[in-house]
Amino acid sequence: MTEAETTALLPAGLRDILPPDAAFAADLVQRLRACFAGYGYDWVDPPLVEFEDTLFDGAGAAMTNETFRLMDPVSQRMMGLRTDITVQVARIATTRLANAPRPLRLAYAGDVLRVKGKQLRPERQFTQIGAELIGSESEAADVEAVTMAIDGLTRLGVAKLSVDLTVPALVPQVLAALEAPARAAAAVRAALDRKDAAGVDVAAAPLGQGATVFGLLLRAAGTAESALDKLARIPLPDAARREADRLGAVARALMAALPGTAFTIDPVESRGLEYHTGVSFTIFRAGVRGEIGLGGRYLAGRAGAARAQEPGTGFTLYLDPILRALPEPKHGERIYVPFGTPADAAAGLRENGHRTVAGLAPEANGDAPAEARRLGCTHLWHDGRIVPVAGTGP
């Protein structure tokens, strides 16, 4: 490894984004922003760091162990680098925009940083693009969140999408109804997370006659139609039954609205959805490592605050898997403008939407085409015309 390569090393999970990927990524963000604006979502831009007491309040508590911390030299208070923009948007909605009409529709994009990467996403810094709908408990809000996420991805050209629906609160509600001790509840949750059917039966056995429900929930996972049929036959406590019925209503509405999207249901999944309280979802694309996005219901606002917490739903899309799902970008047309070309000629090219690369010194041996090729230009400004450069091209 050369000295230059050694000094350019970055921490694990961080990377430079180079041309043409950086420009392509920026364009994708702008296209998603335009899509969300079409649904009536206004743009917000939260700060990169916040004080811990606001960053970790409410839904943000689930991200405590993922957060880099630093001391603010001005206030002498601890701050955290954001790990998830959703919690920041929820704070904005319930404080700065507390008096705005509900439901409130907000969209955002920005980088987040986490202490650790995941097996399927080793990146620790990545870009989130998302939207939040705050102030509505309706099933139509759940449907809008999923529909808009799929619409945005489809407009980018991301095909072969599938959506896995779940209700992270379902299992905890069943455990509460059975009055499960903390140790037994933890054992059941761990076995469900492993998708270990035999382990679930063993862990749930001490909970009595109703414990068989956990195995039934685990085995209900599958395509939406099959899972809904199985869920309807599982004896659930009243609170859990209401959540399952809502999941069914949302799933049926989505299947009708998005016939080209594959839907599955996993009634026991909750990993990665720790602060979600209702119908939630994860978006995958066939052949792409990791999830492309996730979202769902949560409570916006500070727990125990004078103003009651508000229902919210939304989603976050991740730029890195979106880039992996699309064909590699190519350099577009670049016109080399030889040294000494009048400035108004180059300005006219740019005004017509062209990209120009100006020569900054006389070309070696007067060979402008060779200099254009060296700089990766596809075309050359010659005798008042745009001409292709042999041996180059997008």
pLDDT exceeds cutoff 80 at 165:
yes
Mean per-residue pLDDT for 191-203? 92
Rounded distance, CA 180 to CA 183, Å? 8
Mean per-residue pLDDT for 171-194? 92
Rounded distance, CA 212 to CA 178, Å? 11
Please tell me which residue, 37 or 1, carries the higher pLDDT value. Answer: 37
Who's near 254: CB < 8 A, 6+ residues apart?
A: 143, 146, 147, 163, 165, 261, 263
Assign 273 a pLDDT band (cuts: 50, 70, 90).
low
CB 70 within 8 A of CB 81: yes
Tell me: the pLDDT tens digits for 335-388?
A: 999 999 999 999 999 999 999 999 999 998 889 999 999 999 999 999 999 999
Contacts 24+ apart (CB under 8 A), 82-85: 82/46, 82/47, 82/48, 82/49, 82/50, 82/55, 82/110, 82/112, 82/113, 83/112, 83/113, 83/114, 84/60, 84/112, 84/128, 84/316, 85/46, 85/110, 85/112, 85/128, 85/130, 85/316
**Beta carbons within 10 angstroms of residue 378's beta carbon:** 19
**Which tokens hold the place of 239?**
């609170």
Tell me: the pLDDT tens digits for 93-130?
A: 999 999 999 999 999 999 999 998 887 778 899 999 99
**CB environment 114-153: b (16+ within 10 A), e (fewer):** beeeeeebebbbbbbbbbbbbbbeebebbbbbbbbbbbbb
| CA separation, residue 104 to residues 46, 89, 101, 147 (Å) | 16, 11, 6, 17
pLDDT computed for residue 283 by the predictor:
97
pLDDT exceeds cutoff 90 at 334:
yes
- Of 31-45, 184-198, 251-265, where does mean pLDDT reach its minimum? 184-198
pLDDT computed for residue 2 by the predictor:
56
pLDDT computed for residue 332 by the predictor:
84
pLDDT computed for residue 391 by the predictor:
65
pLDDT computed for residue 392 by the predictor:
57
pLDDT computed for residue 390 by the predictor:
83
pLDDT exceeds cutoff 90 at 58:
no
- Calculate what percentage of the chain has a pLDDT beyond 70: 94
User: Options 3.40.50.1220, 3.40.470.10, 3.40.109.10, 3.30.930.10; which CATH number does 1-159+269-329 get?
Assistant: 3.30.930.10
pLDDT exceeds cutoff 90 at 4:
no
Assign 270 a pLDDT band (cuts: 50, 70, 90).
confident
Who's near 27: CB < 8 A, 6+ residues apart?
A: none
Assign 307 a pLDDT band (cuts: 50, 70, 90).
low
Q: SS3 of 383, please?
A: coil
Rounded distance, CA 196 to CA 25, Å? 39
User: What is the average pLDDT score of the chain?
Assistant: 91
The pTM assigned to this predicted structure is 0.90
**Beta carbons within 10 angstroms of residue 282's beta carbon:** 23
pLDDT computed for residue 57 by the predictor:
77
Assign 3 a pLDDT band (cuts: 50, 70, 90).
low
Mean per-residue pLDDT for 122-145? 95
pLDDT computed for residue 38 by the predictor:
98
Assign 279 a pLDDT band (cuts: 50, 70, 90).
very high
**Beta carbons within 10 angstroms of residue 229's beta carbon:** 13
pLDDT computed for residue 264 by the predictor:
97
Q: Is 140 left (phi over 0), alpha (psi -120 to 50) or beta?
A: alpha
Mean per-residue pLDDT for 316-336? 92
Distance of CA 8 to the CA centre of its chain: 28
Domain ranges of the chain: 1-159+269-329, 169-265, 335-388
pLDDT computed for residue 305 by the predictor:
61
**Beta carbons within 10 angstroms of residue 368's beta carbon:** 22
Please tell me which residue, 352 or 8, carries the higher pLDDT value. Answer: 352
Tell me: the pLDDT tens digits for 63-79?
A: 788 889 999 999 999 99
